[in-house]
């Protein structure tokens, strides 16, 4: 399979990166982690103006009805800048989950950035992300979708990611599409891949400026090799993301396998990039005040989001040995 993003998709990625570069996302992430959602909602509003939040929303609800490939391109950039909030849930999952329910009208508000929402899909997604900061929460129980009441909240290793228990309240629909979970796993994979790319980019920049023994550390073979290995791992994972997106868009019989393969490869590559970034930065990389921590903790937190690595490896193994 050969895939290259179109010129329009590449231009969209560049425009989104420009928007997020100017948005000072580290300060937005820190505010979100402190419980202040105002800067984050303002950023979400700007993302809505750029069409990001409406990508997967059906056209009858003010969206573009875009495919999974466009979601991958968008979530790579969102991950590069660690944009906070339940993006996977609001942008990728809920448009598929709510389209044929009594809550379908809420999709208009989500696409416009006027509201934020989250969802839990036990057992693989047992908690709802940032449920106390959004306008609506949902719970999938078997084949039924419910509006949800928020219970206890716990902190993640990522301060800007709160996990809440939710309980079923009112039934809003049934016949849950399998596509909803696959979209969540794929969007998470693309997001964590983007975060991994940012970690390598930041580490390369740091290695070019940090000196030891009167020598820029980027000239040391050990540093070069580690950064190169991290970069290669991310590059090898990227085609799997697009392969899974194409499988989703064509409703291929290999969708579950391809999504799981992409999730495993992207997460492993991002985690390697995180470990490399920490080693390249040295002691300063361990400090929470340094912005690198925002990317490190995000990658760590997303390792088990939308299905653990063990679950996704098992799905790949089942598919290839069937």
Whole-number Cα distances in Å, 152 to 129, 142, 306: 12, 22, 20
Residues 6+ apart with CB under 8 A from 144: 171, 173, 174, 176
Mean pLDDT per 10-residue segment, the chain (322 residues): 80 97 96 96 96 96 94 98 97 95 94 96 96 95 94 93 96 88 98 98 93 81 94 97 96 96 98 97 91 97 96 96 90
The pLDDT of residue 47: 97
Domain boundaries, the chain: 180-321
Q: How far apart are CA 53 and CA 112, in angstroms?
A: 7
The pLDDT of residue 216: 84
- Among residues 201, 208, 191, the alpha carbon closest in space to that of 276 is found at 201
Cβ neighbours, 10 Å, residue 86: 22
Secondary element (H or E) of residue 314: helix 309-321
- Residue 41 structure tokens: 């909602």
* CA–centroid distance for 291 within its chain: 18
The pLDDT of residue 114: 95
The pLDDT of residue 177: 86
The pLDDT of residue 219: 79
- Residue 142 structure tokens: 């078997």
CATH code, residues 180-321: 1.20.140.10
Establish how many alpha carbons lie within 13 A of residue 321's alpha carbon, considering only the half-sphere containing its beta carbon: 6
Stated pTM of the model: 0.96
Q: How far apart are CA 294 and CA 29, in angstroms?
A: 8
């Amino acid at each position: 399979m050969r895939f290259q993003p179109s010129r329009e998709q590449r231009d969209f990625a560049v425009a989104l990166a420009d928007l997020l570069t100017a948005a000072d996302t580290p300060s937005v992430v820190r505010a979100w982690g402190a419980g202040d959602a105002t800067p984050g909602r303002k950023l979400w509003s700007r993302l809505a103006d750029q069409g990001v939040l409406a990508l997967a929303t059906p056209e009858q609800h003010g969206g573009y009805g875009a495919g999974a490939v466009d979601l991958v391109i968008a979530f790579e950039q969102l991950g590069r800048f660690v944009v906070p909030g339940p993006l996977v849930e609001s942008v990728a999952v809920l448009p598929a989950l709510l389209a044929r329910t009594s809550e379908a009208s809420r999709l208009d508000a989500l696409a416009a950035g006027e509201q934020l929402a989250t969802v839990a899909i036990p057992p693989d997604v047992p908690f709802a992300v940032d449920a106390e900061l959004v306008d609506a929460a949902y719970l999938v129980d078997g084949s039924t979708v419910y509006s949800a009441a928020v219970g206890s909240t716990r902190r993640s290793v990522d301060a800007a990611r709160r996990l809440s228990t939710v309980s079923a309240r009112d039934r809003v629909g049934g016949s849950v599409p399998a596509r909803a979970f696959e979209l969540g796993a794929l969007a998470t994979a693309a997001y964590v891949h983007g975060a991994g790319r940012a970690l390598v980019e930041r580490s390369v920049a740091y290695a070019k400026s940090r000196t030891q023994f009167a020598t820029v550390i980027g000239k040391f073979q050990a540093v070069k090799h580690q950064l190169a290995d991290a970069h290669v791992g991310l590059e090898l994972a990227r085609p799997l993301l697009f392969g899974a997106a194409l499988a989703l868009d064509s409703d291929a019989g290999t969708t579950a396998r391809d999504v799981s393969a992409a999730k495993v490869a992207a997460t492993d590559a991002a985690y390697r990039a995180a470990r490399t970034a920490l080693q390249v930065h040295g002691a300063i990389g361990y400090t929470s005040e340094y912005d690198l921590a925002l990317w490190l903790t995000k990658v760590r937190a997303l390792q088990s989001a939308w299905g653990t690595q063990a679950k996704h490896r098992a799905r790949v193994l089942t598919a290839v040995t069937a």
